[in-house]
Amino acid sequence: MLTQISVAVIAVAFAVLVVYLIKTLKAATQSLEKVTQTLQEVQKTIDELSYEVKQTIRNTNDITVDVQHKMKQIDPVMDTVRNLGEALSEVTYAVKQVSAGMVSRFKQARLEKKQPVEAERPKALTPEERTFQSYDAVYHQQEESKPSKSRNWLAYVDTAIGLWNSFRRQKAR
């Protein structure tokens, strides 16, 4: 009898085990179906995104080609600007040298002009005479010297421009 009870208990235990295994396998099957469905949706989304990414890359390549073409068109302009900058730098340097020479000449001329005037000026002048003398010195000297200074200055500039043009022509050869 003990064998029969043992066999009956084993049979019941096996039946319970089979029932729980069936439930577990059904749950696993449902989970796998959901995973399969999710993977299909992910694959579909990836396919759509890959198409959009390819389009974006194509547009980027087109833009890059267009920018490269435009940069090649701008290169001569940039070369011209660089050459112009170099020329302006050279002109500025030349003008600076000419103006430094002119300033030193003007200072020298002023010093030479002032020294004889100071030596010839009488020592004892009345306040009224000093007022008239300063008035004459300021207004009459400015009126007389302005046209000649501007003419001298223009002559220096013309000379400097002529020298610069000669220099550039020789450099071009």
Rg (alpha carbons) of the chain, rounded to whole number: 51
pLDDT tens digit sequence for 141-173: 544 545 555 456 667 777 777 787 777 777 766
Q: Which tokens sit at 24?
A: 């577990």
Q: Which tokens sit at 156?
A: 């220096």
Q: Residue 34 CA to chain centroid, in angstroms?
A: 56
Q: Which amino acid is at 91?
A: V
pLDDT tens digit sequence for 116-129: 555 555 566 776 66
Q: Do residues 102 and 153 lie in contact, with contact meaning Cβ atoms separated by under 8 Å?
A: yes
Q: Which amino acid is at 162?
A: G
pTM above 0.75, yes or no: no
